[in-house]
A and B are shown apart, each in its own frame.
Chain A
Amino acid sequence: MAEKRTEFESLGGNNLDGIGGNAKKITYTAEDGTKRSLQIDCGMKFSDKTLTGVDNYIAPLECDDLLVTHAHADHIAGIIHHIQMNPERPLNIYADKFTHMFMAAEMAKQGLPLDNMPKFHDVEDGKKFNVNGFEIEPVPVTHSAPGAIAFVVESPDGTRLLDMGDFKTTPAELGKGWDDKRFAEVFAKGIDVCFCDSTSTTSKETTPSYEKVTKGFKKILYDNPNAQMMVGTIARSAQQMMADVIAVAEYAKETGTKPKTFILDGASLVMVNNCLNKAGISMTKTCKDRTGVSVNIIDAKSPEARNVPPNERIYMVTGTQGEELAAMARTARGENRNIKPSRSCPNLCVNQQAVIPSGDNQAIVDEMMAALKAQGWKTMIPERGAPFVEGETYYVSGHGRAGDMEKVAEIAAANMPKDRQCTFIGIHGNEEQTKATEEIFKAKGQKVEHITNAQKVEVSNGDVKVAKTIGRATRIAVIDQNDDFRDPDFKYVKETFNPVAKKWEEVAEVPYKKILDPAANKFKGNNGKGGRGGKKGHRHKINPAVMAQVAKRSR
């Protein structure tokens, strides 16, 4: 008779070389040796192709039952590739309704046949469900993506693990979010191990709330009352957009003016708005309920958009990092048919996302903002790591900092049963970040352990042990051989991490079936007439000659 035990393994996300590719596996072994498992998340880790020759890396998908914490690429973008590698597998996905809608939309955008779509199961706060013998309790958290969930996973022997997902500890603007009382309840029932998001835990204090974004954005409205605005955002991180909508409503109420209209330009934003409505967390309704003010949110192509006076327009666009085909860069190049600087009022472009320090992002975003300026747009962009200033700051992160972790430690300490102490482990970060998380909990008198990818945590009879030996972590390199997202020709290569040599080693190419409908890409860019290569995430500097021409045309 073997001893029954529950094991947790970070399949990806506890990397030595940076954030991404999050995936976690939980396995229960019964006394007779039979095993059952489930996985949480299956994300992607971005790669600089010019350095690695690889577009991105995806985490393995080792189970047919997958819980998904939220709709960000570092948690979900591996799934569609795994479906291509194994289209017959009966995949069940458990996620919040918005995350479900968003994933289905993304898969459809890429032309995944309906027969190959996973079976989605919508999960809700307070409604426990059973997966493969595990009892699961979804608990809402606040993150930049709406519908973010933490999962309590209880094994048949009563072991309780808590994966916090990506979170911070202030309220959400859209849908349910963090609630101290809810987590007090969760910890009161006993948690053996709690796994915490380490993205921002090397930063002091608490991550500011979305309410602060509303204040900062409102100041922009007061400073630029008559401007046509273009605001750069990340579509699926809609909490921040919701904070902007509330700012517009409050500004209208305070000044007795007509609320400005949000005009969504680009498929991602229109799609996210549609997904939010289907998930029952409409931005217009949330705003009306909260402020009593109706704010219009329409798409840029609708005839209604043309009738909105320029100084009442707030265009929401994607492409905050200068992505070549996104609306912001196309506007900067004078190629966006929907957005032009107005001659009848001032023009203001607010890039509501700091530059992500990677490759030559900074130079690319600088060029884009300079091109917009040359066309007559006044430009604003937050500085990365700039200290928070009440009433000024208009961008906040969705990841908790040291102060958020301290709060979790305090809630846990105040509520956990005396005879069942929780162990805290940092995930979703590199060594420095996960260790920083663990130090915070340790300083608060909590038990901590540390793991890397493929290093198992075992819980048996309430004892928490970390394996001394580290296994070989696995990832799949995704290489688009056409280097063109409109017509990708994927090659998948399995790699494993040698923990002694501390390097990834190639194992084998993974065969796959091309099941994505090629017709799904024929309308992409230039209506399929060819022309410039289409690398969606691709960024390049704007040619100064083009910039000068655009500026001349706009004057």
Chain B
Amino acid sequence: MALRWKEYVELADALNKAYPDQTLADMEDAELIKLVKALPDFHDDSEPDETTLMAVMARWISVAYPED
């Protein structure tokens, strides 16, 4: 299934699988966009706004730290 910005929950899961050792505490938007665009299943030409980027980031962080 093609990943898009809108399905940020699936997108975050894919990011966590692809980059398990990534430092997340200080990741900047530009870096996040680069990593998302490098995912083989990602196909979306739309521009994410900052709320969307925060949503992807927050989901990724909560998948990476599942306990807390």
Contacts and interface: CB of A to CB of B under 8 A. Distances in A.
A109 interface: yes
A77 B58 CA distance: 17
Interface stretch (A65-73, A153-161, A266-274, A390-398): A266-274
B9 A274 contact: no
A104 B67 CA distance: 20
Nearest to A326: B68
A104 B23 contact: no
Interface string B29-67: 100000000000000000000111011111101111111
Contacts of A277: 26, 28
A325 B56 CA distance: 23
A106 B57 CA distance: 11
A325 B65 CA distance: 11
B68 A108 contact: no
Contacts, number: 119
B67 A266 contact: yes
B63 A108 contact: no
A120 B51 contact: yes
Contact of B51 (A104, A109, A524): A104
Counting chain A residues whose Cβ lies within 8 A of the other chain, the interface size class is 35 or more
Contacts of B2: none
A520 interface: yes
A278 interface: yes
Interface string A96-130: 00001100111111010111010010000000000
A278 B68 contact: no
Contacts of A2: none
A105 B25 contact: no
A112 B25 CA distance: 22
Nearest to A328: B68
A299 B68 contact: no
A340 interface: no
A318 interface: yes
Contact of A264 (B22, B25, B50, B67): B25
B68 A268 contact: yes
Contact of A274 (B8, B51, B61): B61
Given A301-B64, A318-B68, 20 more contacts: A104-B55, A108-B56, A264-B25, A265-B68, A267-B64, A270-B64, A271-B58, A273-B26, A274-B24, A274-B26, A274-B27, A274-B61, A297-B25, A297-B26, A298-B23, A301-B24, A302-B24, A302-B25, A330-B67, A520-B59
